[in-house]
Structure 1
Amino acid sequence: MPRAVRFDGYGDVDVLRVVDVERPVPGPDEVLVRVRAAGINPGESAIREGLFDAMWPATFPSGQGSDLAGVVEELGEQVQNVAVGDEVIGFTDRRASHAEYVAVPAANVTPRPPGVPWEAAGALPVVGTTAYAAVRAVGAGPGDTVVIAGAAGGVGTLASQLARNAGATVIGLAGPDHSDWLAAHGITPVAYGEGVADRVRGAAGDGGPNAFIDTFGADYVRMAVEDLGIRPDRVNTLINHADAQRYGTRTDGNAQGASADVLAELAAGIADGDLEVPVARTYPLEQVRDAYRELERRHTLGKIVLVP
């Protein structure tokens, strides 16, 4: 029988288990995908811990995961424009991709270009579409100086590159261990911590920064508006919704960016060498607990990926 990640109640990584499940049966408008790679994301940790219980309650036993890349093995009777054997990148909203097989709406998959490695493909959907929406929200373009907090994380690495590709100057806030990667990708690294606003102003030069993307949380929304003087409509946070409401900033993320068309555009950028999805490490499905332990330290460069 195929294997899948499950948990029976909220808690830390120890509630996760890998169990035998029935092979999913695709619905009329779905495809069955044999998963080759599936990224893991901080939001999944928060859901598993029950932090979003009021908004997105789990039904137990619960599956987990949204990102996926794999090979189509079966089609629903209404599916067109997808064939058995197609290699695809996609996403599911049913907390189900951390598994060997997943049934997913055909509208949520796009072809995997040959130049996109499986691990990068499986890591792409959530971080890629979230970064895409965040960069679009602040209107990054030529003449802009965009600051990105958490620039070495899963979303931050993509947002930094997308803003750079849009013609903006990008300042990336990250730990010193990741400065070389950022600089090699045309992003000015600035260390986070005490005095960061002064370091940002110094890196930005005359005129200072005029847009800010917060992928980390903490005090960055307040800093962007009060210390750096950035207009609230050009600040986007993925984490600190309380400060977003207080200052009137934007909160665009995966919900505003998730689509097969956006995935196709991002995948083409990877295939063309315009984007990189850095993969910090891969884990077999059976080591899902170890994968999340590493993720929750919040120090990795890019993504951690399960390989069923």
Structure 2
Amino acid sequence: MKKVSFAEFGGPDVLHLIDADEPHAGPGRIRVAVRAAGVNPFDWRLREGQFRTTRPIELPSGLGLDAAGVVDEVGEGVEGVEVGDRVFGEGTSTYAEFAVLSAWARMPEGLTFEEAAGYPSVMETALRVIGETGVRAGQTLLVSGASGGVGSAVLQIARDRGITVIGTAGAANQDYLRGLGALATTYGAGWVERVRRLGHVDAALDLAGSGVLRELVELTGDPRKVVSIADPSAPEFGVRFSGAAGSVPDALAETVRLLALGRLHIPVEKSYPLAEAAAAHTDSQAGHTRGRRVLTV
């Protein structure tokens, strides 16, 4: 099978499409013929070697956590899913023609493989970090870097829970944030005062790692009300750095629920063939994403 792999840490150019042995579904797992794989910032941070001390991997290594596809192997002990089912979920080395998933759900009717591949990790992350801030219905959550995949999910989950959101993003994404129910403003000079004019902030999320933790603590008045998924210096400010994954099955179940109610939609900004994984990483690292980027097989 074809698989994206890297044999050394570095830039996007270390990614190569290679021939590899097919994986197989062990106990409690399923294998899918991948139709689309989600591209996450975690993927290029792993490729760069940012986690080599905290999450060591053996090289050469595959990439990818999220996938949508058609079940073609069912492992021992797995119930409720059959060969031929269309599913989306999370596994390992999903930038490939076949991948093994450890958590999955049936794809809702009307959802494309490209759309489905964009949900698993971002929904798990969004649900986790909202919970870690402790923000509640009737309160206001500030989201720095709100237009990407996780931000798009956070805004819609918050709206469903009765939480007001103030989102920061580039000028081109202001209407996009407002369309998701957020009070929107741009980042850059004077952004703190622009946020203050929009309302009191009860909690804050840093999704972009753009060096704003000091200001987020200032706006909330308490570092315990700030959570970052993108700035490893967070502990220096007394801020929680959220890295340990929560329940992916629960996140998939909530995804299906919100999709069924018409309360969730994360657009796919761009799809790339598997052979263009390097270009997908380059674009993801450049930021300013509106929604998700995915690889198609």
Instruction: Assess same fold via TM > 0.5.
Output: yes
Whole-Å separation in 2 of the counterparts to 1:291 and 1:176:
23
Structure 1 residue 211 and structure 2 residue 200: aligned?
no
Q: Is 1:199 matched up with 2:188?
A: no
> C-alpha distance in 1, partners of 2:225/2:173?
26
Per the alignment, residue 266 of structure 2 pairs with 277
Task: Name the SS of the counterpart of 1:134 in structure 2.
Answer: helix
Letter in 2 for 1:87: R
Q: Which amino acid aligns with 2:77?
A: Q
* Corresponding residue number in structure 2 for 1:15: 14
- Aligned residue for 2:225? 234
The aligned counterpart of 1:59 is 58
Secondary structure at the aligned position of 2:108 is classed as: coil
**Partner-residue secondary structure (3-state), 1:37:** strand
* Alignment correspondent of 1:103: 100
Answer whether contact 1:110 1:261 (CA < 8 A) is retained: no
| 2:158 aligned partner | 163
The CA distance in 2 between the partners of 1:51 and 1:252, in whole Å, is 15
> Secondary structure in 1 aligned to 2:84?
coil
Match of 2:236 in 1: 246
Match of 2:291 among 278, 286, 302: 302
- Deviation (angstroms), 1:307: 0.7
Shift of 1:66: 0.2
In 1, are the aligned partners of 2:203 and 2:220 still within 8 Å (CA)? Answer: no
Find the residue that maps to 1:43 and give its secondary structure: helix
Using the TM superposition, give the Cα deviation of residue 57 of structure 1 relative to its aligned residue in structure 2, in angstroms: 2.2
Letter of the 2:174 counterpart: S
Aligned: 1:257 with 2:256 = no
RMSD between superposed Cα atoms in Å: 1.5
8 Å CA contact 1:282–1:304 kept in 2: the answer is yes
Q: How far did residue 56 of structure 1 move?
A: 1.7
Normalised to the residue count of structure 2, the TM-score between the two structures is 0.95
Q: Structure 1's 139 and 240: CA in aligned 2 closer, same or farther, altered over 3 A?
A: same
CA apart distance, 1:187: 0.8
State the Cα distance separating 1:29 from its structure 2 match: 2.3
Unaligned runs of 5+ in 1: none
**Superposed CA offset, 1:27-66 (max 9, x none):** 1222111111111111111111112111122312110000
CA deviations on 1:119-169 (whole Å, 9 max, x unpaired) are 121011111110111111123332211110000011111111111221111
For 2:167 and 2:39, the matched residues in 1 are separated by: 22
Q: What SS does the corresponding residue of 1:51 show, helix, strand or coil?
A: coil
- Structure 2 matches for 1:10-89, cutoff 5 A? 10-89=9-88
* Cα contact 1:140–1:166 (8 A) shared by 2: no
State the 1:83 CA deviation. Answer: 1.1
Number of matched residues?
A: 297
Residue 257 of structure 1: how far off its partner (Å): 2.6
Q: Secondary structure at the match of 2:185?
A: strand
Contact 2:62 2:95 in 1 (8 A): yes
Asked if 1 retains the 8 angstrom alpha-carbon contact of 2:115 and 2:268, the reply is yes
Distance 2:232 2:18 in 1: 36
The 3 A distance-change label for structure 1 pair 156 and 37 is same
Return the offset for 1:14.
0.8
Give the C-alpha shift of residue 296 in structure 1: 1.2
Between the aligned residues of both structures, percent identity stands at 38
Q: What is the CA–CA distance in structure 2 between the aligned matches of 1:53 and 1:252, rounded to whole Å?
A: 17
Equivalent residue letter for 1:98: Y
> What residue in structure 2 maps to residue 147 of structure 1?
142
- Scaled by the length of structure 1, what TM-score is found? 0.92
Aligned residue identity for 2:259: I
CA contact (8 A) 1:212 1:230 kept: no
CA contact (8 A) 2:135 2:202 kept: no
